[in-house]
Amino acid sequence: MTDKLYNDPSLVEFYDIENGWTADSDYLNTMASGRTSILDLGCGTGLLAVALAQKGGKRVVGVDPAAAMLDVARQRPGGDRVRWVEGDGRTIRLEETFDLVLLSGHAFQVFLTRADQLAALKTIAAHLSPQGHFIFDSRNPGVEEWKEWSPAESERVIVHPGLGEVLAWNDVRHDPGTGVVEYDTFYRIAADDSTCSAQSKIAFPSYEDLVSMMEEAGLVVEQWLGGWDGRRFDATAPEIIPIGRLGVPPVSPPR
């Protein structure tokens, strides 16, 4: 499904207003210190990728499947320091490796099936240098955060620099069979009382699901965080954040 939230330029305008620089950005900005090459897989509008590139001496590549998001990234001040690539995180192969491969903003959750998630993990492995590390975040399904995305609980007022005051809210449906959450995002513009909306789908793989895929993808997790404050993962943690590296290839027995 083509998600208008990321592909419709009029909706992409709201992305940085709603998300912006958050705790994950702070953590990843610190983690990137000392790295010379970074792949931001699912870079969106490029806020983080540009910040990392501006630290100097780093090769930074931002990949995203949404052309409208990349248009914003290219026009961002400092955007010329990043190489932007339109591509699918399941299949893209850049034929180069990086000290750090990251997916932030719960980008991993757009991969809806186990096959898609495994393909994305294999993309991470394909782009890791021998000493490189990866990190990404996915919401813990045990916390059931989607229950907070009802219209009553999610209603909020934001200010758009060109459109003025905007009333925003979400609505949500959860499929317990697949674990996929489908949610709607609405923006009602006060100036003309018009409303624009988008429908999105995301998956909530469990900790056990992720563990089972890592070895198959050729990855080893060194630590599991439960939040961007550095807490360890447990069943009550809001996030599942694996940090790891390439697995060690099996040694062939002597002949």
Amino acid code (one letter) for 25: S
The predicted pLDDT at position 129 comes to 97
Structure confidence by residue, pLDDT tens digits, 10-64: 999 999 999 999 999 999 999 999 899 999 999 999 999 999 999 888 999 999 9
Pairing state between β 59-64 and 83-86: parallel
Tell me: do 112 and 85 sit in the same domain: yes
With tokens 């995180």, the residue in question is 89
Could you tell me if residue 58 is inside a domain? yes
Q: How far is 5 from 114, CA to CA, in rounded Å?
A: 23
Q: List, in sequence order, the alpha helices (H) in 62-205.
A: 67-75, 114-126, 151-154
The predicted pLDDT at position 173 comes to 97
Tell me: do 11 and 117 sit in the same domain: yes
Tell me: do 74 and 107 sit in the same domain: yes
With tokens 């056990």, the residue in question is 208
The predicted pLDDT at position 248 comes to 74
Q: How far is 107 from 116, CA to CA, in rounded Å?
A: 13
Tell me: do 129 and 211 sit in the same domain: yes
The predicted pLDDT at position 55 comes to 85
Tell me: do 183 and 74 sit in the same domain: no
* Higher-pLDDT residue of 2, 246: 246
Question: Residue 171 sits in which domain range?
Answer: 142-202
- pLDDT band per the 50, 70, 90 thresholds, residue 243: very high
Last residue of a domain, one of 182, 202, 222: 202
Cα distances from 44 to residues 33, 49, 50, 138, in angstroms, run 21, 9, 11, 16
* Mean pLDDT, the chain, whole residue set: 95
- pLDDT band per the 50, 70, 90 thresholds, residue 252: low
Tell me: do 89 and 152 sit in the same domain: no
Could you tell me if residue 33 is inside a domain? yes
Provide the 3-class DSSP secondary structure of residue 203.
coil
CATH of the domain at 84: 3.40.50.150
Structure confidence by residue, pLDDT tens digits, 112-157: 999 999 999 999 999 999 999 999 999 999 999 999 999 999 999 9
Return the percent helix, strand and coil in the chain, to nearest 5: 30, 30, 35
Q: How far is 219 from 246, CA to CA, in rounded Å?
A: 5
Tell me: do 24 and 71 sit in the same domain: yes
Strand order of the β-sheet with 164-174 is 156-160, 164-174, 181-189, 194-202
